Amino acid sequence: MTSVSRVLAVWLTPVALLAVPAALCGRAADGLWLGLAWALVPLIVLGLHAGPRPPGGRRDERGSLFPVVTLLLAVGVLLWANIALAGDVAVWLGAPRWQGIVVTALAGWLLTAWRPLRRTAPLLLSIALVAAVAPLLQVAWAVGLGPIAAWDRVATQAAFRFPPASPWVTTGRSLATAHGRAPLIFEEVHRLTAPAGGMLRARTLDATRPAEIEWTLAPGQSVTLRAGDELVPGATLRLRFEADKRVPGAPASGMAWAEVRSPRWLDRIGLLVTLLVGAAALLRAGLTLRFSRNGAAFVAAGLLVAFAWAQAWAVYAVLQSPDLFLGGVTLERLLEVPGAALFAEPGRRTLQALLLVAGLAAFLASSVALRERLGALDPTGGGEIGSDPGLWAGLFGGAALASLWPVDPWALTLLALGGAGCALGPAALYPPPPGRVALATTAGVVGLLVFATFAAAQLRGAGGALLSSAIGYPALVGAPAGALVLWLGRGRAG
């Protein structure tokens, strides 16, 4: 596999590809920052100097177990995130969760275990590109608006309302599929119908006193909520919403969606640092990459095309399916063809199949590339770690098992990037002198410990306003800690 396709395949995982449009749908300006940083950071990392090489051009292999183990764990978490996304997609499309997980994990393992299929990443990336762009062009053609006109239409919407053809209006959907973080607060009177019945709980404002009400609805029975009422999270019954009513959790208007609010600077820097050190660990650590002009152009153009697709897909999705705001935008909803009324069957099913093929092809390409990446970092074993079917079966099996429980795939991806980045990133960007591998390991261990401390605080939901950015993006603290150790060690050596 060429370095060029490996770089693109490692970076363009399905979770990353969908996280950008999801962020763009939720908060346009923040999503734009994520997309821009995501597209430019790999170029920055690849453009940095690799530092002095040991005499004779050989790597010092002592103490190289630490980066191999760290990267192995990071690859495992990345696989977990993507397989969990496959489970979410299966549930969203009405299939059992385990089916999406088994198909994805099995295909990934077969591709990494079967030697003749190991050089298929460029082909898989091409398939993903074609299969993702074709539905986008179809949607643009059906809507009859270019991306800029579609953005203008979204940004001038008075409110985001349920389209009459939305599945949330026609047949209803299980509330369990709306598992985003946004509260389900209603801004106007809204009648909800439970086609199959079930229990529903809501927090209401009775005069000025908050109260929690529980209804046991018979099949087909309705309940009316008022402005300010909120559905209590955790309900799993199927609900039908009213057409042309505001979507709970959506921005107040298109203008509110598009406006540039005062940014949270530390959050933006935290995201940038996480992506930077994560890219350094995944794309750079232990490797010497050399690109021709064509190679650099190919990587940059691939990232640009992915970012352009993400922007256009987000805009058309918001324009045609504003119901994706319900409960907060989640990744799996963006793998559905937007606009229930846009396409008739079987054209819609074909486009949906193309989107799934794109996601699976991107996952398989990234699996193959991550395996090769890991093998390239294992000089002592001659790359054996990248071609051990038992190890990879364990990795895919563990990731598949963990994916049975829903998790936030983007949070897992950031965890993998941040952890691997704090352990390997500083040494990859600021290499220690030849023969000082132990210094890189010490810096990596310190960076990883600091990262783990703040990540644990994130899991516990601790931290005040001052530390919220460091807890939200633990690499903001872990990476500088590792870099500081490297700098002090170099100073003592010098």
Contact residues: another protein, CB under 8 A:
28-29, 32-33, 35-37, 39-40, 43-44, 46-49, 148-149, 151-152, 155, 258-260, 262-263, 265, 268, 272, 290-297, 299-301, 303-304, 307-308, 311
Nearer to another protein, 74 or 280 (CB): 280
Nearest Cα neighbor of 36 from 329, 314, 271 is: 271
Nearest Cα neighbor of 249 from 303, 175, 360, 306 is: 175
To another protein, the closest distance from the beta carbon of 10 in angstroms equals 17
Nearer to another protein, 208 or 262 (CB): 262
What residue type is assigned to position 164 of the chain? P
Nearer to another protein, 186 or 257 (CB): 257
Euclidean distance between CA atoms 271 and 418, whole angstroms: 9
DSSP secondary structure, 301-358, as one string = HHHHHHHHHHHHHHHHHHHH-GGGGTTS--GGGGGS-S-TTT--TTHHHHHHHHHHHH
* Helices and strands in the chain, H and E counts: 17, 8
Euclidean distance between CA atoms 152 and 163, whole angstroms: 19
Task: Judge whether 409 and 91 are in contact, CB under 8 Å.
Answer: no
Nearer to another protein, 43 or 391 (CB): 43
Q: Backbone phi, then psi, for 424, in 5-degree steps?
A: -115, -25
Task: Judge whether 37 and 275 are in contact, CB under 8 Å.
Answer: yes
Nearer to another protein, 36 or 488 (CB): 36
Q: Is the peptide bond before 346 cis (omega within 30 degrees of 0)?
A: yes
Task: Judge whether 122 and 2 are in contact, CB under 8 Å.
Answer: yes
Nearer to another protein, 32 or 243 (CB): 32
Nearer to another protein, 295 or 406 (CB): 295
To another protein, the closest distance from the beta carbon of 444 in angstroms equals 23
| Helices of type H across 377-474 | 389-403, 409-429, 437-460, 468-472
Nearer to another protein, 137 or 148 (CB): 148
Q: What 3-state DSSP class applies to 477?
A: helix
Nearer to another protein, 1 or 43 (CB): 43
Task: Judge whether 10 and 282 are in contact, CB under 8 Å.
Answer: yes
What residue type is assigned to position 400 of the chain? A
Q: Provide the terminal-to-terminal Cα distance of the chain, rounded to the nearest Å.
A: 39
Nearer to another protein, 40 or 123 (CB): 40
Euclidean distance between CA atoms 24 and 19, whole angstroms: 8
Residues forming a β-bridge with 223: 192
